[in-house]
């Protein structure tokens, strides 16, 4: 498994850890993508280390930012080096490559210059050529990719992100609230996860300022460098008195932070799949989310989360107030989240991955049917 470190600094590293557990692998080598060394030698070494592992399959968790080079206008440009080297090294050792696309970029002509759009086309073609199988975590990701590169039905799968079903902190809601400095009877609204501009933390602050009768918690932080860190520092500076910013949390504190709120608000401007939403499902926490396509699709299939136009902060604040004043409505959302959790468990997702791994090995003969996520 090629992913970021499982140290709480990146959601993809956490996802990879949970996926390995869901797969039920007897053993798994995890090769960490360097986040502090964006040099060509570092990514050459990464490709070689991945190919030298003991497994029959090398599974890369792909997000453009993980393969970025400082100062480059081309998203994930170091992938142009990493994937060909990995492909050759794996071919020499009779290993297959599987790639999970955590997002797919597809710029319109007025959004990016021709050179960037051409680069993305070449990058996607390279990913398709080097991979025995591609996994997408949302339908729009699969459709965007296939807008560039046509894939046969046995060359890709659409799978659910996966939800933990066995993570439950050994403390009550009242104890969790005390842990973060709240009285047990204080109403708490939270936005969990890493602080990043697309997630709308600035919208969250605006809503909090309109609802001084409630406590708001930003349960997360940002890596200590780059644009995300600068944005997180600005969020902390702008936070009104009823907002607590925890900073980056370890696993124990993160799950406790998901136990404390009465409601989660995810005002994401951009989202293709959300580990944070799935973490809320783990704790059966009711969610009010943006009307992004991802959330609306899940709402249409499951009746949760409730969605709202986040361009209107007054409307978001009013919906938060309605939900906080209606316990039965929150309970209904929590019950549906429990159903979603069971249907999209990492155990089920792990079974799908084992099936893919079995089929892509060089001696496999049967065809692989495309999978569709439960959500």
Number of H helices, E strands in the chain: 14, 12
CA-to-CA distance for 286 and 368, rounded, in angstroms? 36
Average pLDDT, the chain: 90
Cis peptide before 274 (omega within 30 of 0): no
> Where on the phi/psi map is residue 181: left (φ > 0), alpha (ψ -120 to 50), or beta?
left
Given a cut of 50, is residue 310 above it in pLDDT? yes
Contacts of 55 (CB under 8 A, 6+ apart): 28, 29, 95
**What is the reported pLDDT for 316?**
97
CB half-sphere exposure, 57, CA atoms < 13 A: 26
Q: Apex CA 297: angle with CA 334 and CA 154, to 5°?
A: 115
Given a cut of 60, is residue 12 above it in pLDDT? yes
> What is residue 193's three-state secondary structure?
coil
Given a cut of 70, is residue 8 above it in pLDDT? no
Residue 261 CB neighbours (<10 A): 28
Share of the chain above pLDDT 70, in %: 95
**What is the reported pLDDT for 198?**
92
List of long-range contacts for 152-158, beta carbons under 8 Å, 24+ apart: 153/369, 153/370, 154/367, 154/368, 154/369, 154/370, 155/128, 156/370, 157/133, 157/352, 157/356, 157/368, 157/370, 157/371, 158/370, 158/371, 158/372, 158/373
Each residue's pLDDT tens digit, 318-344: 999 999 999 999 999 999 999 999 888
**What is the reported pLDDT for 271?**
84
Each residue's pLDDT tens digit, 138-196: 888 999 999 999 999 999 999 988 888 877 777 899 999 999 999 999 999 999 998 99
Confidence (pTM):
0.76
Given a cut of 70, is residue 13 above it in pLDDT? yes
Each residue's pLDDT tens digit, 248-302: 888 889 999 999 999 999 999 988 778 899 899 999 999 999 999 889 999 999 9
Higher pLDDT, 189 or 37: 189
Given a cut of 90, is residue 71 above it in pLDDT? no
List of long-range contacts for 295-299, beta carbons under 8 Å, 24+ apart: 295/266, 295/268, 295/271, 297/139, 297/375, 298/340, 298/375
Read off the DSSP letter of residue 75.
T
User: What's the mean pLDDT in 63-85?
Assistant: 93
> What is residue 165's three-state secondary structure?
coil
How far, rounded to the nearest angstrom, does the alpha carbon of residue 28 sit from its chain's CA centroid?
Answer: 21
Please state which of the ranges 226-230, 281-285, 346-350 shows the lowest mean pLDDT: 226-230
- Evaluate whether 357 touches 144 at the Cβ level (below 8 Å): no
Given a cut of 80, is residue 373 above it in pLDDT? no
Which range has highest mean pLDDT (204-218, 221-235, 361-375)?
A: 204-218
> What is residue 76's three-state secondary structure?
coil
Given a cut of 60, is residue 364 above it in pLDDT? no
CA-to-CA distance for 46 and 17, rounded, in angstroms? 18
- Evaluate whether 101 touches 134 at the Cβ level (below 8 Å): yes
Please state which of the ranges 51-55, 346-350, 366-370 shows the lowest mean pLDDT: 366-370
Q: 153-174 as b/e, with b when 16 or more CB fall inside 10 Å? A: eebbbbbbbbbbbeeebeeeee
Share of the chain above pLDDT 90, in %: 69
Given a cut of 70, is residue 237 above it in pLDDT? yes
Higher pLDDT, 80 or 140: 80
Integer Rg of the chain from CA = 21
Using pLDDT thresholds of 50, 70 and 90, give the confidence band for residue 363.
low
Residue at token pair 């361009």? 311
CA-to-CA distance for 361 and 353, rounded, in angstroms? 13
């Amino acid at each position: 498994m090629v992913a970021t470190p499982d140290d709480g600094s990146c959601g993809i590293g956490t996802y990879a850890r949970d996926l390995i557990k869901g797969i039920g692998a007897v053993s798994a080598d995890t090769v960490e993508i360097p986040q502090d060394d964006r040099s060509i030698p570092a990514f050459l070494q990464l490709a070689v280390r991945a190919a030298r592992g003991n497994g029959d399959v090398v599974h890369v968790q792909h997000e453009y930012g993980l393969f970025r080079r400082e100062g480059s206008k081309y998203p994930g440009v170091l992938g142009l080096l990493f994937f060909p080297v990995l492909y050759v090294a794996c071919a020499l050792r009779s290993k297959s490559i599987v790639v999970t696309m955590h997002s797919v970029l597809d710029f319109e002509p007025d959004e990016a210059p021709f050179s960037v759009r051409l680069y993305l086309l070449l990058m996607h073609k390279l990913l398709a050529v080097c991979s025995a199988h591609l996994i997408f975590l949302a339908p729009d990701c699969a459709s965007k990719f296939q807008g560039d590169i046509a894939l046969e039905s046995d060359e890709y799968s659409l799978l659910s992100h996966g939800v933990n079903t066995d993570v439950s902190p050994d403390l009550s809601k009242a104890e969790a609230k005390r842990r973060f400095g709240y009285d047990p009877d204080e109403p708490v609204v939270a936005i969990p996860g890493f602080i990043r501009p697309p997630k709308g933390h600035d919208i969250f602050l605006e809503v909090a300022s309109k609802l001084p009768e409630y406590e708001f918690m930003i349960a997360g932080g940002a890596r200590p460098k780059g644009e995300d860190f600068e944005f997180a520092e600005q969020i902390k500076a702008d936070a009104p008195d009823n907002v607590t910013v925890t900073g980056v949390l370890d696993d124990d504190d993160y799950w406790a932070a998901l136990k404390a709120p009465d409601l989660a608000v995810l005002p994401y401007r951009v989202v293709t799949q959300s580990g944070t939403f799935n973490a809320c499902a783990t704790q059966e926490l009711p969610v009010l989310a943006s009307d992004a396509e991802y959330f609306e699709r899940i709402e249409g299939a499951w009746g949760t989360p409730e969605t709202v136009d986040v361009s209107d902060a007054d409307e978001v604040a009013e919906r938060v107030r309605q939900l906080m004043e209606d316990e039965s409505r929150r309970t209904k959302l929590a019950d549906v989240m429990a159903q979603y959790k069971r249907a999209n468990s990492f155990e089920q997702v792990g079974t799908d991955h084992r099936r893919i791994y079995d089929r892509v090995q060089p001696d496999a003969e049967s065809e692989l049917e495309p999978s569709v996520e439960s959500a």
